[in-house]
């Protein structure tokens, strides 16, 4: 049986004026359909590079990436992306038109677009905010719009690059809860990039810990076998947190 997503000996070496930089080396991972995989690593470990290759923004210099058995070549509507900053939203469109952007690209009619966009506005808790422009929304609301925009396009999987990284701690916790609820409802396959251990343990069905860069690669994969919604103060959660923490700690303080 073919895995839903396969990263097969993937490597990425950037060549610049200052020489070559090997960001990712021999990265192997298989994702099954419907799982929420968090890729956790310190800054500069290459986790965003992995996501960019899966999204099709960068082409691996070695190895191959396959989605449902087909090699990934360039970006496509089967992989929805939620970006870290909200610079990816279209400032000249309303929240609703941002969410419906992918549907418009497919030539869907206005009425149908509107109905779908409103459904996803409700899903991300922004009912009645559809006529506002991004500049009128808070940072947390903008990330909700990004999530709704990616989901409204009904991709095969979702790629999220530290989507809550720029938010304050309170908003971040709220959005983590919302994302967990949405995922529990639709069970889309998710690859979620983060450097926040608690975030990874709260959201993921499996957490992949990366080695330090350069030449970042997967160090270990930890299954988090806890029911949703997760109780962050429970002993079981703490145990998972400790387990992941020890793995990542060795990468932060390699000589300790």
Partner 1 sequence: MHSRAATIIGYVLGFALLFVIWHLASRYLVSSVLFPSPFPVFERGWVLLEEGLLQESVWASMRRIIQGFLLGSAIGIPIGLAIGSFRPVRLLLEPWTEFFRFIPAVAMITVAVIWFGIGEESKIFLIAYTTVFVVVIATAAGVGAVGKDKVRAAQCLGANKFQVFALVALPATVPYILTGMRLAMANAFVTIVAAELVASNDGLGKMLWDARLFMQVEDIFVALISLGLLGFATDRVFRLLIRAFAGRFNPTM
**Can you state the percent helix, strand and coil of the chain, rounding each to 5?**
40, 25, 35
Smallest gap from Cβ 51 to partner 1, in A, equals: 11
- How many angstroms separate the CA atoms of 88 and 98, rounded? 10
Nearest Cα neighbor of 68 from 160, 155, 6, 153 is 6
Give whole-number Cα distances, 203 to 108, 121, 148, 225, 254, in Å: 33, 21, 18, 11, 27
DSSP 255: T
Q: How remote is the C-alpha of 130 from its chain's centroid? A: 24
Cβ closer to partner 1: 150 or 218?
A: 150
User: Do 203 and 180 touch, CB atoms closer than 8 A?
Assistant: yes
Smallest gap from Cβ 43 to partner 1, in A, equals: 19
Cβ closer to partner 1: 88 or 243?
A: 88
Cβ closer to partner 1: 133 or 195?
A: 133
Smallest gap from Cβ 193 to partner 1, in A, equals: 14
Cβ closer to partner 1: 146 or 217?
A: 146
- How many angstroms separate the CA atoms of 57 and 233, rounded? 38
DSSP 34: T
Cβ closer to partner 1: 26 or 91?
A: 91
Residues contributing to the site for partner 1 (CB under 8 A):
55-57, 74-77, 79-81, 83, 85, 87-92, 101-102, 104-106, 133-135, 149-150, 153, 155
**157 token code pair:** 């999987």
Across the strands, what pairs with 39? Answer: 193, 208
Smallest gap from Cβ 120 to partner 1, in A, equals: 13
Smallest gap from Cβ 135 to partner 1, in A, equals: 5
Phi-psi region of 205 (alpha: psi -120 to 50; beta: other; left: phi over 0): alpha
Smallest gap from Cβ 241 to partner 1, in A, equals: 31
Cβ closer to partner 1: 146 or 205?
A: 146
């Amino acid at each position: 049986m073919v895995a839903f997503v396969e990263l097969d000996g993937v490597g990425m070496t950037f060549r610049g004026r200052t020489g070559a930089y090997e960001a990712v080396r021999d990265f192997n991972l298989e994702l099954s359909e419907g799982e929420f995989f968090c890729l956790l690593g310190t800054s500069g470990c290459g986790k965003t590079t992995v996501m960019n290759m899966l999204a099709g923004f960068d082409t691996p210099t070695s190895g191959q990436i396959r989605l449902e058995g087909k090699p990934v070549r360039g970006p496509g509507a089967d992989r929805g992306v939620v970006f870290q900053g909200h610079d990816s939203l279209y400032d000249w469109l309303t929240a609703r038109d941002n969410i419906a952007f992918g549907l418009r690209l497919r030539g869907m009619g206005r009425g149908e677009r509107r109905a779908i966009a409103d459904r996803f506005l409700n899903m991300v808790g922004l009912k009645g905010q559809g006529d506002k422009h991004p500049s009128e929304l808070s940072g947390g609301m903008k990330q909700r719009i990004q999530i709704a925009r990616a989901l409204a396009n009904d991709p095969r999987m979702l790629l999220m690059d530290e989507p809550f990284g720029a938010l304050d701690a309170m908003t971040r916790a709220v959005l983590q809860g919302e994302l967990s609820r949405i995922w529990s409802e639709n069970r889309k396959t998710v690859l979620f990039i983060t450097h926040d251990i608690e975030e990874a343990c709260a959201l993921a069905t499996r957490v992949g810990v990366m080695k330090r860069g350069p030449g970042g690669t997967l160090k270990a994969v930890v299954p988090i076998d806890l029911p949703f919604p997760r109780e962050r103060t429970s002993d079981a959660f703490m145990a998972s947190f400790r387990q992941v923490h020890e793995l990542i700690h060795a990468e932060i303080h390699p000589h300790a």
